[in-house]
Amino acid sequence: MIQVDMDKCTGCRVCFNVCPQDVIKMENKKAYIENYVNCMECGACALNCEYNAINLTKGTGCLGAIIREDILKIRQKATGCGCGDDKKLTGCC
């Protein structure tokens, strides 16, 4: 679980810039959590916040993110064999 303490947040944008998963957004010069389901709980945001405004409790975020990414990869592969991808041939699927 991740939370931003709005009273401590100065809007410096560091967490927004370091998050590899596009979880953190900025609004009215404050950080907020928008895409929590994508959070890997890597801790980069909390570690880099000089104002100690981010509270991160480790849970299953990393595992959840890995599973979701794997599921997305499986779905992408399941859309066809790729035989018509070059646009020159009519594919079989």
Q: 11 or 64: whose CB is closer to ligand SF4?
A: 11
Q: Which residue of 10, 25, 77, 83 would you call a contact of ligand SF4, by CB under 6 A? A: 10
Q: Shortest gap between Cβ of 89 and ligand SF4 (angstroms)?
A: 41
**Residue 51 sits in the site that holds ligand SF4 (CB under 6 A):** yes
**Residue 13 sits in the site that holds ligand SF4 (CB under 6 A):** yes
**Residue 32 sits in the site that holds ligand SF4 (CB under 6 A):** no
Q: Nearest-CA neighbor of 2 among 30, 29, 34, 26?
A: 34
**Residue 42 sits in the site that holds ligand SF4 (CB under 6 A):** yes
Q: Shortest gap between Cβ of 93 and ligand SF4 (angstroms)?
A: 36
Q: What's the angle, vertex CA 9, arms to CA 3 and CA 15, rounded to 5?
A: 70
Q: 12 or 64: whose CB is closer to ligand SF4?
A: 12
